[in-house]
Amino acid sequence: MKAAVVVFPGLNRDRDMIAALTKIGGAAPAIVWHKDAEIPKVDLIVIPGGFSYGDYLRVGAIAARSPAMDTIRERASQGVRVMGVCNGFQILSEAGLVPGVLMRNASLKFVCREVKLSVENASTAFTSGYAQGQVIRCPVAHHDGNYFADAETLAAVEGNGQVAFRYAEGTNPNGSLNDIAGVFNAQKNVLGLMPHPENLIESAHGGTDGRQLFATLLDAA
């Protein structure tokens, strides 16, 4: 399979994501600068975490209007898998590729710690390596991870099986509605995820709970 990582100014988790994709997939992903509307033909496009454009205006708002995002929208409509992690999730939300928005944490403080996640839909290309309801560990590091959607959107997300992961066992770090940590688009080929699975893929990191997401996704692609 082939993957691409899209890099925006201010991101700081691109190297972590590139390392995870390379280590688990066996090949280095293509690196695409955000101003380049030309993205190679790939099976997976990833937007990593960080602070694109310093989180000015709203988190992800400026990045969502970069030329690469038009191509990502087009590829997503064609069924290509797209994943955004942390700031990547915020960018996907601002670009309209996943439902809902990410607001300031309820504590109004940056949080950096390990949380627990329950797998809410294990029948997708992203999550089928986990068991339905399985609880895994994952680190978070964000200031604006508070997931919100209006009542109609939230009902649709819940009813359509678009919740990918929820914060479990009382570890919700940001006040997200319904403990939502990650959501799919309606077709479930786009995933926005606030925690960082790329930072828990080997024992040197303290665990491997994030590894299966990449192993399953790269194999499925």
pTM of the model: 0.96
Strand 101-103 relative to strand 111-119: parallel, antiparallel, unpaired?
unpaired
Could you tell me where the beta strands, DSSP code E, fall in 48-189? 81-85, 101-103, 111-119, 135-142, 146-148, 163-167, 180-184
Within 10 Å of residue 196's Cβ, how many Cβ atoms?
21
Query: Is 52 a residue whose pLDDT tops 60?
Result: yes
Q: Which of 94, 114, 198, 205 is catalytic?
A: 198
The span from the CA of 17 to the CA of 86, in Å, is: 12
Query: Is 147 a residue whose pLDDT tops 70?
Result: yes
Which residues fall within 8 angstroms of residue 16, CB to CB, at 6 or more apart? 48, 196, 198, 199
The span from the CA of 147 to the CA of 185, in Å, is: 15
Q: Is 146 exposed, middle or buried (0-12, 13-18, 19+ CB in 10 A)?
A: buried
Q: What type of residue is 25?
A: G
Query: Is 118 a residue whose pLDDT tops 60?
Result: yes
Establish whether 196 is a catalytic residue: yes
Place of tokens 């991101």: 11
Establish whether 114 is a catalytic residue: no
pLDDT of res. 76: 98
The span from the CA of 39 to the CA of 47, in Å, is: 13
Q: What is the mean pLDDT of the chain?
A: 96
For residue 11, give Cα distances in angstroms to 67, 115, 212.
Answer: 17, 22, 24
Q: Which of 34, 86, 94, 143 is catalytic?
A: 86
Q: Which of 34, 142, 143, 196 is catalytic?
A: 196
Confidence of residue 9 (pLDDT cuts 50, 70, 90): very high
What average pLDDT score do residues 150-165 get?
98
What average pLDDT score do residues 126-145 get?
97
Query: Is 221 a residue whose pLDDT tops 60?
Result: no
For 75-94, the pLDDT digits (tens) are 999 999 999 999 999 999 99
The span from the CA of 16 to the CA of 179, in Å, is: 26
The span from the CA of 136 to the CA of 130, in Å, is: 9
Q: At what angle do helices 14-25 and 211-220 cross, to 10 degrees?
A: 60
Confidence of residue 62 (pLDDT cuts 50, 70, 90): very high
Q: Percent of the chain scored above 90 by pLDDT?
A: 95
Confidence of residue 220 (pLDDT cuts 50, 70, 90): low
